[in-house]
Amino acid sequence: MSNAAATIVDTMTDAQAEKLMAADQGKPVSLLSNSPCADAFVVLDRALIATKALYRTLSDWLDDTSEDSYATRRELRDQMYYVQGLGEAMKEAKATNSMTVDLSVRYGVYDDPEGEATARYEAASCGLEYVSDEKREEAEYSSALRGITDAQQALEAAGFTVITGFHPYLIDSEESQRATDAIHAEILAEEESAARA
């Protein structure tokens, strides 16, 4: 996917990269370690631009995918979510002048054996192999990460420590309920405020 999503332009100069960043045209830029640019944070800027370009490419693919292709659309949306998160991690590193870019993800899972059994049964009844949400999300994260392989390698070559990994954790049901209640309370407060205005 990275080749389809981001064309690497080997001959781009620093001035061209800066002009492209200023214009924010979303075009792919050179990310190779033999780029004429020696400044690590210019490499980070280029990685951000390439990540935005990948996001736009996925968005275009989503727009071109039929509404009937539910599974494909879901995969594309999930990949876009993770690509956006990767870009946010790069922005965080830039904002804090950090030489560490944490592209890892924590993914919350529920302990729901009954729901899993139902999903397994439904998949089997359709002749499909059961894939848990956790495994599916990990695959989409990995796909998003592969889409920025050139950016990741360029960051590492520029001296950044790049952390990757998909880390599932068990969501505490009581904590989850408290979070849900807080969100609902916030929505109700916004609705009441809008009604008074």
Half-sphere exposure of 85 (CA within 13 A, CB side): 20
- The helix/strand/coil state of 112 is coil
Q: Given the DSSP bridges, would you call strands 166-170 and 105-109 parallel, antiparallel or unpaired?
A: parallel
Instruction: Specify the 3-state DSSP secondary structure of 106.
Output: strand
Whether the full predicted model's pTM is greater than 0.85, yes or no, is no
pLDDT of residue 37: 41
Axis crossing angle, helix 133-147 with helix 40-64, rounded to the nearest 10: 120
Residue 90: the pLDDT is 95
Choose among 87, 116, 119, 104: nearest CA to 169.
Answer: 104
Report pLDDT for 125. Answer: 92
DSSP 129: -
Q: Which stretches of the chain score pLDDT less than 50?
A: 1-38
pLDDT of residue 94: 92
Q: What share of the chain is helix, strand, coil (3-state, %, to 5)?
A: 65, 10, 30
* Residue recorded with tokens 């009581």: 174
The vertex-11 CA angle with 6 and 17, nearest 5°, equals 70
Give the pLDDT score at 112.
Answer: 79
3-state secondary structure of 168: strand
